[in-house]
Structure 1
Amino acid sequence: MHHSRLCTLVLDCRVDDLAPAAEFWSRALGKPIASVDQDGDGRYAELQTADDEPIILLQRVAHESRVHLDIETDDIDTEVARLEALGATRIAFCHGRWWVMQAPTGHRFCVVRRQRARFGPHLNAWPA
C-alpha cells in the first residue's frame, strides 16, 4: 500500500523577479509571503498556508505562465505507475527528485516526495 494526496498548487511565472508576483498573489489570495526566495536561487517563492491546505508555490519558469499541481507520495515509482495505468504519461524526471507527468487531458503535473512532516489530512491509501 502507498499513499498520495494533492500537495501543492504551483503558479508557474514567466518573470525575471518573483518578488512582485509573490506580492500580487499574496494580496490576491490573502496569504502572507512565507518566503520570496525559498531555495536562495530566485526560482521559488512560497505563500503561507495552513497544514490542511495545499502549499502555494510560485516558480520562475522560461515557458508560458500557467498553473500546475503537485501530488505528494510516500512511493514515487508506485504512484507514477498508478497514474500511468489511468492514462498519464511520463514527461521528465527532474533533478533526481520528481516526475513531470501529463494527464490524458494535456495538463502537466508533478509527482513529488512528501513535502510536509505530517502526511495528512486528506490522504489517499492505494492498494499494492
Structure 2
Amino acid sequence: MAHRSRLAGFIIDCQTDALDAAADFWAQALGCTVAERDAGDAAARYQRLGNTPGELHIEVQQVAHPSRVHLDIEADDVHAEAARLEALGAKKIAFVRERWWAMEAPTGQRFCVVPMAHPERGAPPRRWD
C-alpha cells in the first residue's frame, strides 16, 4: 500500500524524577527552548523542545527504564510503515495506545512509528509504493 514517511525527530528518555531539570539541560545543551512543559498525557510525561534544528520534533520523556535516546519515524499510515520496516528485519514490540508502533531494529535499537502530525512542515515525506 502506498504511504509516506520520514524521520520525525528524537525522544530523549530520562529515568528521573526531575523532568523539568532534564528538559532544561537538554534544551540548553542543544541550543533549544522548552516549548511545552506538559506535552504528555495521563499515561506519559513529556516536555517538547522548541526552536529545534530543521524543525525536528524533540521531546524529553520521563521513563521507568534506563535512560536512552530513541527516534520516531512518522507516517501517514503507521501500519503500512511498520509492515515495510518488518520486511527490512525490524520487529513489532507493541501497538501503543492504539496510535503508534514501538519497534526494534535488527541491531537492537528501539524506535517508534507515529502518526504524521504536520506533513507540510520540514522535509517532504518519502513516498513508498
Q: TM-score, normalised by structure 2?
A: 0.90
Change (3 A) 1:13 1:116: same
Q: Please give the alpha-carbon distance, in whole angstroms, between the structure 2 residues aligned to 1:65 and 1:39.
A: 18
Tell me if structure 2 keeps the 8 A contact 1:18–1:36. no
CA-CA distance at 1:40 after TM superposition: 5.6
Tell me if structure 2 keeps the 8 A contact 1:49–1:56. no
Change (3 A) 1:60 1:123: same
Q: Please give the alpha-carbon distance, in whole angstroms, between the structure 2 residues aligned to 1:37 and 1:119.
A: 22
Q: TM-score, normalised by structure 1?
A: 0.91
Tell me if structure 2 keeps the 8 A contact 1:2–1:74. yes
RMSD: 1.8
Superposed CA deviations along residues 67-121 of structure 1, whole A, max 9, x for unmatched, are 0000000011110110000000000111111100000000000000012262542
Counterpart for residue 10 of structure 1: 11
Percent same amino acid at aligned positions?
50
The aligned amino acid for 2:29 is A
Instruction: After the TM superposition, list the runs of 4 or more consecutive aligned residues in structure 1 that deviate by more than 4 angstroms.
Output: none
2:20 match: secondary structure: helix
CA-CA distance at 1:38 after TM superposition: 1.2
Pick aligned residue for 1:86 from 74, 79, 88: 88
Change (3 A) 1:116 1:50: farther
Tell me if structure 2 keeps the 8 A contact 1:14–1:60. yes
Change (3 A) 1:90 1:107: same
Q: Please give the alpha-carbon distance, in whole angstroms, between the structure 1 residues aligned to 2:17 and 2:83.
A: 36
Change (3 A) 1:117 1:85: closer
**Gap runs ≥5 in structure 1:** none
What is the number of residues matched between the two proteins? 127
